[in-house]
Each structure stands twice: as C-alpha cells, then as structure tokens.
Structure 1
Amino acid sequence: MKYFLSTILFLLLNMLYAQNTKSPSGTIALDFKLTPSGQPSYVVKYKNKVIISESTLGIKLKDKPALNVNFEIDNLKNSSFNESWQPVLGEQATITNHYNELVVALSQKDTHIKMNIIFRVFDEGVAFRYDFPKQKDLNYFIISDEVSQFNLTEDHKTFWIPGDFDSQEYVYNETLFSAIDTQKIDLNNGIGVKSISGKTTIQSPLMMKSPSGLYLNIFEAAVVNYPIMHLDADVKNYKLTSHLVPNAIGDKAYLQAPCVSPWRTVMMSDDARDIVGSKMILNLNEPCKIDDTSYIKPMKYVGIWWEMHVGKSTWDYAGSQNAQNAADGQLKPTGKHGATTENTKRYIDFAAKNGFDGVLVEGWNVGWEDWFGNWKEDVFDFVTPYPDFNLDEVRAYAKAKNIKMIMHHETSASVANYERHLDRAFDLMKKYDYPAVKSGYVGKIIPRGEFHDGQTMVNHFNFVARRAADYKLMLNSHESSRPTGYSRTYPNYIAAEAARGNEFNAWSNGNPPMHETILPFTRLLGGPMDYTPGIFEIKMSYYDKSKTEQVHTTLVKQLALYVTMYSPLQMAADLPENYEKYPDAFQFIKDVALDWQDSKYLEAEPGDYLTVVRKAKNSEQWFLGAITDENARQSEIKLDFLTKGKKYKAIIYEDAKDADWKKNPIAYKISTVEVTSNSKIKLNLAPGGGTAISFEPIK
C-alpha cells in the first residue's frame, strides 16, 4: 500500500511539473515531463498534431550511474528571446532569432548530480541540449552514450545516407523509413575510406516527408568538443536514437563541468520552403567571436584541380615511389605534374581576364608520391614546394594581376602532423599573401583508430578555424565532419565540403540528378558547401574515349547551382579552355554574386526540384537558380520579389528543347526580356536540367 501511495504521489507531482512551451506563433508546441521512473521525456506537436511522440532523453556515463532515470525537477524557467543579427557573409543580410525557451533543472535522487535540459521552440522547430553545471558531484566525466530519442508517428519518406563515421560522400537513398537498410546500398561508389557502423544506423541531417505532407528534419547544431551524432533507426517502430561516434577506445566524449552538449534539432513544416530556408541551425550557435572581420570576403576562384580529376595532369611530381627513390635521391619528374609555375600563370591570366578573385593550386608541395592508402604519418610539411613551383615567382605574378592565391593543405588525414606544422604553414601563407586555405583529410585518420566524426576530429576542425582566425585567414575544409553552424561563431570558416561533391562525377558512378535537390535540405542547413560547380564538358569521354563517366546534369543546371548551392566561396571548376568554348554561358558564372542581401525560396520539394532567387548585397541585381531531378519540369514564376516601379533586363539561361542530362547535356539557349515586378516567367527544365536568370536594373 505504501508503494502504491508513493507511486500515485509521484505521478501527481509529475503532472504538476509537466510543462508546455509553444513557438512564438503558437504553431509548434513542446510538452516536457518526467516518466514514472524519473526519466526526462518530451512530445512535439505541429498545429495540434503529434509529430514526435513521447521520446525519452538521457546520458550514459562511463564508470558512473547513468543520467537517464531517477530525476527530480528542481526548477522550471521560461523565457522568450527575439533578436536580429547580421552575418558577415550569408544568404541574407539580417537574420531573425526568435524563440521561447524552457530550462528544466534536474537532480538525480541517488547521486545528487545536477543536469539541466534546455529547450528552445522556434516557429521552424524545436531544439534541446544537455547542460552540466559546475558541481561537487560531477567534475571530469566520460560520456559512454547518449540516449536521446526522436520517436516518429508515421512511416515517412526518408532521404538518408549510411552512418559512416568517416565519410558523408554518399548518394542519398530515397525510401520509406521502414525500408532503411545500409546493407543494400552500392558500395562501389568511389569512397576511399568507409566505416559504416550498422545496418540501420544513418546520418543526420535526416530529411523526411510524412504521408500527410508534413516535412520533418532531424539534425544538430553547435557541435563543439563533442562527437557527431548519427542515428539508430528502429525501422519497425519508427523510432530514432542518437548514436555518437566513438574514439579509438570506444569512449564518446571527455568533458568537464560546466559544459553543454550540442543542440539536437527537429524542424517541421507543411511547406518544404520553410525547411530549406531555415536559419535555425545558425541561430543555435554562439555569435561571432572575431573582432576584426574585414578580411573575410567572398571569393570566386578557378584552379589547378579538375584537370587532375579528368586525367590531364597529376598532383604528384615524380609519379611512383620508385621514381622518387632514384639512385641519386632526387625526384624524377614524370612531365604530367599540374602545379607548375607556368601552368599556374595560365590560370592567373584567365582569372584576371574574367574578373575572378583567386586561383587554387593543388599538388604544389612535395609528398604526393606515395602516401595514399599507406596510412603514413609524416607526408607533408606544407612549406616545401616541388622544384617546378616557384612561390616567389607565382606571388609576384598574381600580385601584378590583382589575383589572390588560395593555399592547399592536404593533410593525408595525419592530423597530429598537420597541427605540428600548422603555424609554420600559416606563416608561409601570410608571407606569400594567401588569404584562404583549402584543407583536405583524405584517408584513415592518424592518430590511428580515430574517426573523421569523433570528438578528437571535431575539436581539430574547429581548432584550425580558430587558429586561422588568429592569422586572419579563411578556411575551406574538405573531408571534414559536416558543419553545424560554427561559421556563425567563426565566419572565417567560409566553406566546407563534407558531402558528395561534383568531383565524384569524373571518376565514379557519379551523383544522380536528384542529388543537388536534396543537399539544400540536408548538408547545407549546417553551413556553406564548396560543391565546385561549373562543369561545361559534361562527358568524360571528351578526355578519353574509353571513359563512360559523366556529370549527371545539363550545362545550364551547372549554372543554376551557383544560386541553389549557397557558398560565399565558389569555384568555376572546369578547365579555362572549356569556358572559352562557351563564352555566352560562362557569362553567368562571371556575373553571379556570392554575398546576398536577401534570398527567397520560390519552389521546393526534396529530391525533386528547387527554385531560389537571391538579391546581391548592396545592389538591385537578382539571380535565380532552378534545378530538377531526372524529370523534366515546367513552372511559372512570379517576379513580385523585384522592386516595384523598376524595370529589369532578365537574361535567361535555359535548357534547349532537346536538352537532356544524359543524351544532350550541353544544349542551351540564352534570351533577354524586359520585366517588372508584375511580370511572370515560364521555366522549362530538361531532365536533369535547370534554369539560371540574372536580373539587371535598367537605368
């Protein structure tokens, strides 16, 4: 009887402490309560419909009791927050950050450990994080697992990639949630290092659509001193549980109170445009910590890069290891090295002639001969050029042409080696006036046993951004963990790859036409992506008749990607001579802006199509990008975003009537019409195609 009365009393107290918090508009509601076992739980509703059913929360500790049951509520605190802030670079000049917050202060009855759960409810969705205050009963601790649940209510259509601890460079699978199975995907996909963790472990951000038409996205924000969160899917019961990436000995995170976890986010809307246009991930990160941001500028660049992917030249100077280890100990050139002084000058000339900002050179430094696949630690020193690349001569030539050089640091995933050399490498960049660096992490991570997505590597990627800021340098990371909004805090972290980029089209089964229609709903929610668009010679048989690989888009879709795939760092990735063959189409790449006053998503459906229009900062110019999957599409766009009373010249780059990504990808036409805010334009997109439009005010 005593136990029964105690249980009733607990339930009554729990009902008393049940808390409801709504978004500013009231559209989204979050209910929090403790279960009868004292476990934190939450429910999310959208327009009064349950979207996330009761889901429990908690943290498991190594060598300590788990922080997931036996909690009591010490305090509940509600507050509201509303601000506007200006990103240094971005899709819009001003971002609104408006939410209602609930802080639940908990203490565990047996251990007396205190843990807070902070909820924020936006009009786009909800976010929560774990907060460990300073306390005598918890100082240093090790997280062995996080058991945050996201329990769905329906068998959603789901866009997923496998939970690979080392790579996000996968083609998205579009299946029902119940059909998720990483063992059924094609692993002959060009990815060099794979660490897939389970049959139904998948990555976030996870984009979904319910049978009733609700769009749902599960992600995370502000991953700092913590591993990346993947998700374990219970495909029979439509449940998801957080899956943290381990370190070399199986631990997940080493922490010291006071500290916080990253935010776990659930976005939702019945309009897909709300998801793709959301700034919730950025808003959940800390404000900019850089005092002087004057050096952080958008860059449009070309580079010695694509020619290696298509086999015209090589990154290495001497070819095989045997060539390097000749009798006299000298490097013996193969004659195919791309990063020569003379070739670099050719790219500088092209950049200067066409109004570009910079030139990237890959393969300029010694070490490329024998490292790939060998798990070798001391490969690059990041300061010693090959004999045919003269740093002084290149600097002088670039300066005379008013072109900035972009440094390339391939780390060979030897992270400790890179950190040992980092300051000397950045000193060299400052000496030779390189404002930005592209880093790479190809291969298995050294220290051995670590993963690209583990706490160690997250800390490394963030450290490099912070150290670059000390030198007033911009960073563009490749093969890194995917961004979670850290570019708000360190906007010199100007871009990253962290997804399957355009390069895979050159030497693998490539990226299907729907790929670029999914990335804005997934990878790009966390920050700008260096996708390297702008390929005009679509078929690789152009370089070698025996090749069957190709880019899975039309030429015009490559133009549209400069608008749909946001980045303030954009590469015109093809060879200069290929652009010179199509100067009228190349004009759009020359004209398109990189930093935006405003962005409006006009049409959106993940996996199918996307149309966005953006206004250049401090300008009346607008640019439109529209893309589709493998299906041809037609739509009509109202131009009511244009300033009323002004006339504009619309230069329309569109697929020709017989264009097709596979059969006839380079067919396009260009037309010019006069328009106003009252006008409409019909879009005709070929299979795998797109449309790009520039709107110039008529004076």
Structure 2
Amino acid sequence: MKHIFSIFFVFILCSINAQNVKSPSNKISLNFKLLENGKPSYSVDYNGKTVIEESSLGIKLKEKKALNSDFEILSTKTSEFNESWKPVLGEKSSILNHYNELTVALVQKETKVKMNIIFRVFDEGIGFRYDFPKQENLNYFIISDEETQFNLTEDYKAFWIPGDFDSNEYAYNETKLSEVDNTKLDLNNGIGVKSIPGKYAVQSPLMMKSSTGLYVNIFEAAVVNYPVMHLNVDGSKFKLTSVLVPNAIGDKAYLQAPCVSPWRTIMISNDARDVVGSHMILNLNEPCKLDDVSYIKPMKYIGIWWEMHVGVSTWDYTGSQVAQNVLTQSLAPTGKHGATTENTKKYIDFAAKNGFDGVLVEGWNVGWEDWNGNWKEEVFDFTTPYPDFDIKAISAYAKEKNVKMIMHHETSGSVGNYERHLDRAFDLMKKYDYPAVKTGYVGKIIPRGEFHDGQAMVNHFNFVAKRAADYKLMLNSHESSRPTGYSRTYPNYIAAEAARGNEFSGWSIGNPPSHETILPFTRLLGGPMDYTPGIFEIKMSYYDKNKKEQVHTTLAKQLALYVTMYSPLQMAADLPENYEKRMDAFQFIKDVAVDWDDTKILEAEPGDYLTIARKTKGKETWFLGAITDENYRKTTIVLDFLTKGQKYKAIIYEDAKDADWKKNPMAYKIRTVEVNNKSKLNLVLAPGGGTAISFEPIK
C-alpha cells in the first residue's frame, strides 16, 4: 500500500511540475518543467520533433538569492487570444495576433519571492518573459545576469554578427554554430566604436538553419527598461545563453516590482518565408498608446547626405577650425560645406519636381568641426545653424514647393547633452514645420562607460520617441539599439537604421551581395529599417579615380530593395544629378509605394535570395522586388497574388544580360508586358542583381 501511494504521489507531483501549451495549429508545443532542484526549464517541439531541448530559465540578482532554483508552482493558467489589429503604417493593413498562453506562477521556497513565467505560443513560434508581481519580498532589485538558455539539437548553420555592445553595423558571417569565433574576424570594417565581450558572443536576432531544412530564429521583443540581449555560443553543445549588456559599473538592469522582462522569442518553421513574413515581434508589444496618429505619415525623401559620404561635400563649415568660433569671428568657409541655403533649395526643387515628400539636410548646424572621436560632452545645441544655412528662408521655400524638411540631430553619443536640449530642438522643428527627425549616435556614449545597448540607452531611445510623440513628430534613429517592435506602441518611431546600412558602400569594404538577403531574416523582424537604397553611381571611382569602393549590387537590385527592405520612410539616397542621367530607371523609385495593404513573401532563403510582392495602401497597384546574392539566378514567379479578373501593365526593371555587381553593375533594361493573376514571369538575376516590377491596373 505504501509503495502504491509513493507512485501515485510522484505522478501527481510530475503533473503539477510539468505544463504544456500548443500553438493554435498544434504545430508547436511548449513544455514547461520544474527540475529536481526546483529550477525552471522549458523545451519546444515542432511537428512532434524536439527543436529546443530542456533549457534552464532564471535570473541572478545582485546581493540577493538568485531566482533560478528552489521554486515551486503556486498555480498555472492557460488562455487563448485571437484578434486582428490595424497598424498605422505597415506591411499589411491588418495583422493577425493569435496565440495560446500559459502563465506559471512560481514562489521560491526559501525567500518567498514570487516570479511568473509567461509563455505565448503562436503558429510561427513562441515568446516568453519573466514577470515580477508586486510583493512584500521583492521591491527594488538589480539584475546581475539572466540565465536564459536555448539548447539546440544540432550544429545549425547560423547567420551571425559579433555580440558587440556598441554597434550592430556588421556584415553577416555564415558558419556552423561550432565555428563562431570573433577572434577570427577581420574587424577592419569601417566601424568606429567596437565593444565585443568575448570570442563566442553573437547578436540576436540569430537566424539559423538545420541540416534538415528547419529554420529557427532567436530574438526578443518589447525591450523596455531593460538592456539588449545578446547570446553566448557553446558550439560544442549547441547551447546558447543570454548575455545582457551591462552599464558602466557592471549591473545589467535596475527594476522595481511590478515589472517584466522583454519577451525572449523563438521562431520555427520548415519554410523560410514564414520567418520573413512573421509579425510575432510586433504582436508581443503593447498596442498603440497614442491618441492622435494623424501626423504619422509615410515619406519618400532625398537629402544632402550621400554627397558627404562620397566626398563631394562636407558636414563641417570651416574645416579644422573649432565650431564655437563660427558665430563669433568672420571665418572663411572651406567652400565644400554641403548644407547651404542654395544647395538645399536645389534638393527641394528636385523633390517637388519628382513628387517626393521630404528633404533631409545633414551638417546644417554648428559643431561638426569639433566632435568626431573627441568624446566631448557639449558639441551641438541642435538649434544654431551655420551662417550659410538660412533655416527660415529654407522652411518658407519648402512650404511653397509643398515639400517637408527632415531635421537631423547628430548627438555625437552625448546623450545627456541631447536630452538637455531636446525640447528646444523640437520647438525649433515645430516652428519651421519639420515633421520628422533623424537622430544619430556615432561614437562612444556619454555618460562615459555606458554602451549603446545598455538599459540607460534603451530608455533614452524610447524616451526620445515618446517625447517626439508629445510634439507630434516622427523619429528615425541611427546608430541606436536594434528595434524590437516598439513601433507598434509608438508608431511615430517610424524607422531606424540599427544595422549595417548602404552608407558603408561609400567609404569602406561595403556590404557583401548577400547582405540584403539576410537583413529581412534578422534586423527587419524588429521594425522598419532606413537602409537608404537607390544608389545609381555604383563605383566610387566616379568621384575619385583612386577610389576602389563600390556598392556591391547592380543598379536593378538597388531598385528592388525598395520592396524587399520594408520602411515607410524610404530615401532615394543618390545625388539628384545621378538620377537625372537615368530617369527611366528612376521612374520606379518615383512610383513605388512605402505603405502597404498586403505583402506576399514569394521566395525566401537567407543568404541566397528573396522575392516579395506588396500591394499599395488603398490602391490596386502592386510592386515586386527580387534580389539575389553573388550568384546568378533564374526564377519563375506565379502572379496569383494579383486580383482575379484584373489586367495589369507590368513594367519590369531588370539586369541586362551582361550585368554583374562587380564587372558591369549599372547595366539594366526595362520592358513592359501585360499580365493577370494566371500569368507567370521568368526572371533572370545577375550576380549581385535583382528585378523590380510595378503592376499598374489596366482600366
């Protein structure tokens, strides 16, 4: 009798300590379990096969007992959630948010500290977070580490960049997990500030592929009041462990209950298209908090920007002479300053003539002579223009031409200085009718010792978005931590760079041809990217015969990027005169939309190719972008996404027969055919090439 009771007791205990929740389609199964020492763990199955083996969960606290063992389950709760919501701007007019949720309420037996772990299981993956309820035994606390594991079943092929606390502007490496090693990388890559914590540290989102063709992506969502999570790779055991970015004294996060961690996410599919097309990261963020979103509008813009990168002009006004003398002495300008009143009006004229919404001007304000690399506290005041930039006259001229100006605020990494000046800077924008600001964070962060990806900086980036919303302004951040879906909550955070953008092609080793085929599987999962496509003069020797740098794509691929690289803020990045020489190709940039009713991922393979079709918001027009890596590619596209019974004029911008990203990058051709939803198109992509197509309904 005693023996039978023991067996029954163990059965009951196991049933209490083990919980399971499945995705709506039952493809994905999440299993939670308390191990013998009361340590929380989880595992994940996909179509009945284990993808994430038993992996530990836990939090280490500073000067307190770690929340990683000695737990018992107080209660569990399961629920289903199913809704559709409409983004202000987006890839679809409506997004489905459907998941099953499991909440496991835990209490630590010795300390009586309570901690919940919340799991949400979608058809494309799972998200889980740590939740600290209000309680007597835990109020203010400091996280010294997070012990979240992702234990894989094999040595996946991974698309990774170093887990740098200060920069995400790297080209991707494609190796086995067991081959991850930052010490073997050539870091002569144009990145000015690097803070890599170890040889096996990589950044999330981490895109992976198994030997059997299973795609797994590890990332995070809703990073608010918390540092960015990178990953440490134990390649021999196929084990990944969270790495939180520390602050200047080594602490990871300062919190007060009630509070939550960001969601840790795992996307799983045997079809790569599901990863690119997923909205799980957005769905794990809070709904929009803004009452008024009427000012949040998509923008296509040009700007005084690329001409500085290629050496035609400069950001600074007086060259080597310090900025504070500009207004107090009659100093002769170098004559190369780009942000002049005259030059800005030329860009405004070009924008107005070609139907563009905005003009960005960098280098308009005093300070550029005295900041780069000096780690100086007060460089810019964000309100004082150079003598040759008449902000009042330019504002009036832009208004007359029905063009909006985009402000630029380079903080030089001096965050405290920017926050002190922020309201005055935004007041100036409102005074002169600038609807959007591009912020920059080049250089080491001040307060000194902080990293771009630490809790303080995450809070800063989110604060600027919220403060911009108070002024009804849109924000586009550069050199920030990578987005994790916060644009759902604050849709005025219209775009960010936060990855290696097109600018690196102007003055460094550039971006390899595979780069743009990987970004939609990684960086773009968290939100729109201001990649600045549209470079038509591919080789920098055009500006200086001694230059060897170039954009590592064909011209046709630059057009296709407007479709494959989603952003409601898209720049035509090249100089106006370079477009005027090729107005037939420039027509696609003029025509392509930036806000969408629907998106179809037609083909996808990370590191190799991507084909996407999108339907214009509120219109019947469609646009298609197809890109490839360094390899020549043929493909046939079925146009069944087009409206049944409707005929379309398809204008196809494609690589010429002899096009090649390295040998002949600017060779393209344009042809027009009539199609419908039963048609097929045969596409030929040159090495490093692409195809861009507009579909106009025939009335």
Using a 3 Å threshold, how does the CA distance of structure 1 residues 116 and 401 change in structure 2: closer, same or farther?
A: same
Aligned to 1:149: 149
Q: Residue 324 of structure 1 contacts residue 330 of structure 1 at CA under 8 Å; is this kept in 2?
A: no
* Residue in 1 that maps onto 2:28: 28
Residue 72 of structure 2 corresponds to residue 72 of structure 1: yes
Matches within 5 A, 1:262-281: 262-281=262-281
Structure 1: unaligned runs, 5 residues or longer: none
For residues 143 and 331 of structure 1, the distance between their equivalents in structure 2, rounded to whole angstroms, comes to 52
Q: Which residue of 2 aligns with 1:63?
A: 63
Q: Does 1:441 align with 2:441?
A: yes
Deviation at 1:488, TM superposition (A): 0.1
Provide the rounded CA distance (Å) in 1 between the counterparts of 2:617 and 2:83: 21
Structure 1 position 332, deviation (Å): 3.3
**Partner residue of 1:404?**
404
Question: Could you tell me which residue of structure 2 aligns to residue 207 of structure 1?
Answer: 207
Q: Secondary structure at the match of 1:531?
A: coil
Q: Does the 8 A contact of 1:323 with 1:331 survive in 2? A: no
Provide the residue aligned with 1:248 in structure 2.
Answer: 248
CA contact (8 A) 1:15 1:33 kept: no
Q: Distance in 1 between matches of 2:168 and 2:508?
A: 15
Alpha-carbon distance in 2 for matches of 1:67, 1:329: 62
Identify the residue that residue 658 of structure 2 maps to in structure 1.
658
Distance 1:328 1:205, change over 3 A: closer
- 1:460-539 maps to which residues of 2 (within 5 A)? 460-539=460-539
Query: Cα distance, 1:6 vs. partner?
Result: 10
Once the two structures are superposed, residues 624-655 of structure 1 have per-residue CA deviations (whole angstroms, 9 ceiling, x without a partner) of 00000000100100111111111100000000
- 2:171 alignment partner in structure 1: 171
Q: Distance in 2 between matches of 1:418 and 1:62?
A: 31
| CA-atom RMSD in angstroms | 1.5
Equivalent runs, 1:177-256 vs 2, <5 Å: 177-256=177-256
Normalising by structure 1, report the TM-score: 0.98
Structure 2 portions without partners, runs of 5+? none
Which residue of the partner structure matches residue 369 of structure 1?
369
The one-letter code sitting in structure 1 at the alignment partner of 2:95 is I
The answer to whether the 8 Å contact 2:316/2:363 transfers is yes
Number of equivalenced pairs: 696
SS at match of 1:657: coil
Aligned-partner SS, 2:342: helix
Do the aligned residues in 1 keep the contact of 2:322 with 2:370 (CA within 8 Å)? no
Q: Which residue of 2 aligns with 1:638?
A: 638
- Alignment partners' CA distance in 2, 1:138 and 1:483: 30
Distance, in Å, in 2 between the alignment partners of 1:336 and 1:685 is 39
**Preserved contact between residue 654 and residue 692 of structure 1 (Cα < 8 Å):** yes
* Aligned equivalents of 2:226, 2:531: Cα separation in 1: 26
Structure 2 CA distance for partners of 1:63 and 1:548, relative to 1, 3 Å: same
Residue correspondence of structure 1 range 351-362 to structure 2 within 5 A: 351-362=351-362
Task: Give 2:96's aligned residue.
Answer: 96
Measure the CA separation in 1 of the matches of 2:325 and 2:422.
Answer: 27
Query: CA, structure 1 residues 462+324, in 2 after alignment: closer, same or farther (shift >3 Å)?
Result: closer
Deviations along 1:77-123, one digit per CA (max 9) or x if unpaired, are 00000000000000000000000000000000000000000000000
CA, structure 1 residues 157+433, in 2 after alignment: closer, same or farther (shift >3 Å)?
same
Conserved? CA contact 1:326–1:332, under 8 Å: no
Give the drift of 1:17: 2.9
Q: How far off is 1:182 after superposition?
A: 0.7
- 2-side partners of 1:424 and 1:17: how far apart? 56
Counterpart of 1:50, as a letter, is T
CA contact (8 A) 2:316 2:368 kept: yes
Inter-partner Cα distance in structure 2 for 1:187 and 1:591: 39
CA distance in 1 between counterparts of 2:10 and 2:131 reads 25
Equivalence for 1:586? 586
Aligned-pair CA distance for 1:583: 0.4
Distance 2:685 2:489 in 1: 38
Pairs within 5 Å for 1:589-604: 589-604=589-604
- Give the TM-score, by structure 2 length: 0.98
In 1, distance between residues paired with 2:103 and 2:475? 35
For the pair 1:257 / 2:265, whether they are aligned, the reply is no
Are the counterparts in 2 of residues 206 and 522 from structure 1 also a CA contact under 8 Å?
A: yes
CA contact (8 A) 1:318 1:324 kept: no
Compute the displacement of 1:13 (Å).
1.1
Which stretch has the larger CA shift, 14-23 or 198-207? 14-23
Q: Distance in 1 between matches of 2:394 and 2:327?
A: 31
| Structure 2 letter corresponding to 1:684 | V
Q: What residue is the counterpart of 1:288 in the other structure?
A: 288
Q: CA deviation at 1:370?
A: 1.6
Identity of aligned residues (%): 79
1:288–1:328 CA distance, 2 compared to 1 (3 A): closer
SS at 1:321 equivalent: coil
Q: Separation in 2 of the partners of 1:389 and 1:377?
A: 25
- Aligned AA (2:287): P
Which AA in structure 2 matches 1:303? G
Question: Corresponding residue for 2:387?
Answer: 387
The aligned residue for residue 615 of structure 2 is 615
Residues 322-341 of structure 1, C-alpha deviations (whole Å, 9 max, x = no match): 69759974443111100000
Partners in 2 of 1:657 and 1:642 — Cα distance? 28
Distance in 2 separating the partners of 1:86 and 1:432: 31
Distance 1:7 1:225, change over 3 A: farther
The one-letter amino acid of 2:598's match is: D
The answer as to whether partners of 1:37 and 1:70 remain within 8 angstroms in 2 is yes
Deviation at residue 20 of structure 1 after TM alignment: 1.1
Q: Partners in 1 of 2:635 and 2:57 — Cα distance? A: 44
Instruction: Give CA deviations for 1:12-45 in whole Å, capped at 9, x if unaligned.
Output: 5134331111000000001101000101100100
Counterpart of 1:369 in 2: which secondary structure?
helix
Distance 2:665 2:506 in 1: 15
Checking the alignment, whether the CA contact within 8 Å between 2:631 and 2:687 is kept in structure 1 is yes
Within 1, Cα distance between the matches of 2:635 and 2:327? 67
Q: Read off the aligned partner of 1:59 and give its amino acid letter.
A: I
In 2, Cα distance between the equivalents of 1:325 and 1:190? 30
**For residues 137 and 318 of structure 1, what CA distance do their matches in structure 2 show?**
60
Q: Is the 8 A contact 2:62 2:144 kept in 1?
A: yes
CA distance in 2, matches of 1:8, 1:363: 75
